Structure 1
Amino acid sequence: MQTSFHTLQQFDHVADAVSYLNQLKNTQAVKLAAQLDSAALVDLLENPDLRCDSDLAAYLAAAGRAEVLDQLAEDRMADLMSGFEPPIRQQALNLLSPTTRASVLRLMSYPQGTAGSIMTTEFIEVPTTWTVAQTLQHIREVESTRETVYAIYVVDDRQRLRFVLPLRQLVCADPSSPLTDLWTGQTPITVDAFMDREEVAHIIRRHDFLALPVVDDEQQVIGIVTVDDVIDALMEEAAEDFGRFGGGEHIDQPYLEVGFGTMLRKRGGWLAILFLGEMLTASAMQYYELELEKAVVLAMFIPLIMSSGGNSGSQATSLLIRGLALNEVRLRDWWRVLLRELPTGLVLGAMLGAIGFSRIFVWQHIGLYDYGEHYLLIGFTIWMSLIGIVCFGSSIGSMLPFLLQRFGFDPASASAPLVATLVDVLGLVIYFSVAALILTGTLL
């Protein structure tokens, strides 16, 4: 272990040390990291990529390492403590200074996914009566205790936010100038602590901010959301969405470290739901059993029909989930989306149908397969069916994310397997209905 400790000390950059620790088992990584000095431990725990961060912080809390925990950024400490067991959490809180403890508890009180849950309370606030020189001197004195100094938040005598000064503007100003002389008159853009973090990200992106103040009902600044906090939050949410979109639940652990029971629990529920949905496909095929007996050739194209509808639906779902996430479309735009998807589905279905018809025609004439004397009618059945099924798949795939969001669910829950299951069942109905319309009196 001593050799490994020296190896860890040799890293010049925290990111390299984190990468090394992430290759170890959690217990081994925690024991190794715990041997570092306080400053190195703070740097490690501040890195969001460290996989054993919560375990390491809990180990330090149990060991009474107050000098490490009290130096962490308050928002980072709140994130770590959310994963602690209650006894360890209380032990960690007892190690913090009263001021830090109060801030951490306040941050932990906000619901997950809100601006309050990702904000930091370590920012620089100064009164409107100060000059540029006074403000710069204050920054020098408190800089080491603040997470970021992207901007200075100027408040009135009632602690209400009046305006925000970028650090660059402050540095370039005349030191003797009052801060009010630098104010352009613009009302500061703020957010509420309970605003969804995705909406906060849109505001930061729209205005190209590095930080965004979070205010209470009295317009007093209670924290700031920085761009790096937003990026971390959105990456976490994207990982959750990828899990749902694949037809499962999010697993917040490296793949090789996930327990067997957790793997079954996270994947089994969705698979059971999808299986029950696919049972409707079997029921639909049983309903058309007589048609299949009369024209067995129709069964050959069922996989082709079902996959084409599911693929078109999955494409539409992916586009709409992205559009909703980026605020490119809103709930009220559902009818505009539908009017775009209907003609798109018709053209795409006609294109796929033409390929299917050509395949039957060519195979028949070069002797690769004999579809019988009514091969042209079979080809037209495939063509018309694909038009209907692709059009239906595109429509249902584009509307499902809207429907889920309308009822308060995550649109990413409209996973590709779920859309494919829905389209499979109704696609068979469309296929055999078209076949009955075209082939009655010949094959049927």
Structure 2
Amino acid sequence: MEVAPRYRMINPENVTSLDQFNQVLRSLLDGLRSKAASGGSLLKFATGNTSAPDFKTLYGLVQCTLDLSELQCNDCLDTIAGRIPDCCNGKEGATIEAPSCKLRYEIYRFYHPSADELTPPSNDPATTKGKDGNNTRNIIIIIVSAVVGFVILIIFISIFLRTRKFKEKFEGNFSDNGPYDNNRNLILSSLAPYVHINNGGFYNTSIGQDLNQVYALALCRGDSPSNESCNNCVKATSQSIMTQCPYQKEAFTWGDKEPPCLVRYADHSVSGILDLPPVLVEYVGNLTDLVKSNLTEFHQTWVSLMDGLVKEVSMGSSSLKFTTKKAKFNTFQKIYALMQCTPDLSLGDCDVCLRQSVAESQACCLRTIGGNVQRANCYFGWALSPFYSPHTDASPSVSTTRPQINSTVDNYNGMSTFQKYDSLVQS
């Protein structure tokens, strides 16, 4: 069993009645933990909801990997629930993940309603015995239970994976195969070839009209080694966000590639607009004894490094706001850090985005060996070992040549394509 978690905070809004909310949350999670832990080898999963302060409803979901025993599942969920005061106290929603278990709670329903009606099997089907000893009846029970359990497992594995990597605003849905759906698929499928690292790795575009207009952007992290790597990342991330956010009108993700890239779409213009929530915070490991022996020096070096990075990135150009730096804090170890804003942000908005991310990382993860904070407008990562391309320690240069825009994308009906240099509007 592994319980060293990484966590994401999906809903950064603060609750108004902290003590009452925490009491309701503890009660909900305790009940779900017990229910999931008592599940058999087919499913260790539970969802539920309860009344929360201010006439709200609090929804929860917990799950353990199937290899855990009842005691191990209970301990894993109890351990990560114990991290809530450190990372997410007073927040209306959060997700905490460990390799062996996860939990999530929100003030809106984020899972399929049918999940509340399902109960994990408390015993393995193979051990089910009829009181009358009828072998035929036992076989039927085993087969039916196995089939039902398998179907339930597939459903909730899908739900679990859907919530792992994507931050969604849940501000309205759209219908399958409707105009918005078609426009979203078209624009996201067309992003990758138009993102070029020699021009900052940023591309901003829109398609459609009126209520069916879709806005989208892509940004490759500044340490992307080549156009091919950048394009492949945007292509894979665009496909993933269409799959994992099938009906949301607005979503973003930095994806799973290394180095990652940002893909974002919405039903309204997002160009140059700072959007702090939602946020993904991840961290790994614990500080080594070598660092713990001098925490004061480590903290001072960390804070000074991040402050300098924020200032440098914020003052970047309208083509590129990206910097990496490293700082030595003892004879043997260094802190490595990377920051980036979407280049359409103003100096002030970039500063706010990054400082908020630094504050959240400092609040949750300063006793770890690294982490990152991902937003729709900025990215911040740090570690005690190199995690970005070495050539990026010197600020990368950006071509000042006017980009050549391939006209094939602009030929789509109702699509307007714009970058920092151009605005091409179709009639």
* Greater strand share, structure number: 2
Q: TM-score, normalised by structure 2?
A: 0.23
Q: TM-score, normalised by structure 1?
A: 0.23
* Greater helix share, structure number: 1
